[in-house]
Amino acid sequence: RVYGRPVKFAGNPVLRPETADEINAPQNACALPKGGGLWWDAARGVFRLWYEMGWCHVIGVAESADGVSWRRVCRAELPDGLKPDSWSVLPDPGCADPSRRWKMFLRSPGPSKPADLLASPDGIRWTKICETGACGDRSSAFYNPFRRKWVLSLRSFWGEWGKGGFRSRHYCEADDFFGFGTWERKMDA
């Protein structure tokens, strides 16, 4: 075996707050890939990044041919009233419906509440398809290729806050991204 010696890229971070949405206010300036997703889009021949512009509530889309030099494309267009706090963007290249090629799990800020499941033909213009049951912030979604299942990893809470309760995770699987349905048990944030 030959071991290499990685060298940190001197140009980090590759995205810095530059636009009005990213600067937002001096104490909240960021171009933050905290949720979203970074995917190779073979149809377009570029890496695509969904990131948070400023602190909460605006999703930006950037593209790169090499993963180092990024071009800001636009803001994602979400249905009225939806604001991201915890969110995941996922490609579905085998989807038979081209209007649902991209999927998004989006939970708005606030206490325990349902998350929204959205679809998009291009990763920019989003349509709400359905809601999940209540979940906490820092919840996310992914696709498990080994089990061929869509997965939700949900922040939850067991017991009463401040009285011996504890934080936990719930793991939900579905064959169809929009097939999670809702659940009744209240999970506090």
- Per-residue model confidence as pLDDT tens for the chain (189 residues): 899 998 888 988 888 999 988 987 667 888 888 888 999 999 899 999 999 998 777 899 999 999 999 999 999 999 998 988 899 999 998 899 999 999 999 999 888 889 999 999 999 999 999 999 888 888 999 999 999 999 999 988 776 656 666 778 888 999 999 998 877 654 444
pLDDT at 49: 96
Q: Are 22 and 60 in contact (CB under 8 A)?
A: yes
Q: Which residues contact 8 (CB under 8 A, 6 or more apart)?
A: none
- Nearest C-alpha neighbor of 139 from the set 172, 176, 163: 172
The conformation of residue 52, written as its DSSP 8-state character, comes to E
pLDDT at 162: 60
Task: Output the pTM of the full model.
Answer: 0.87
**Do the strands 149-158 and 140-144 form a parallel or antiparallel pair, or are they unpaired?**
antiparallel
Taking the C-alpha atoms of residue 37 and residue 109, their distance in angstroms, rounded to an integer, is 19
Query: 């909240």: which residue's tokens?
Result: 28
User: Which regions of the chain does DSSP assign to beta strands (E)?
Assistant: 31-41, 46-53, 59-64, 71-75, 86-91, 102-107, 113-120, 127-135, 140-144, 149-158, 166-174
pLDDT at 111: 81
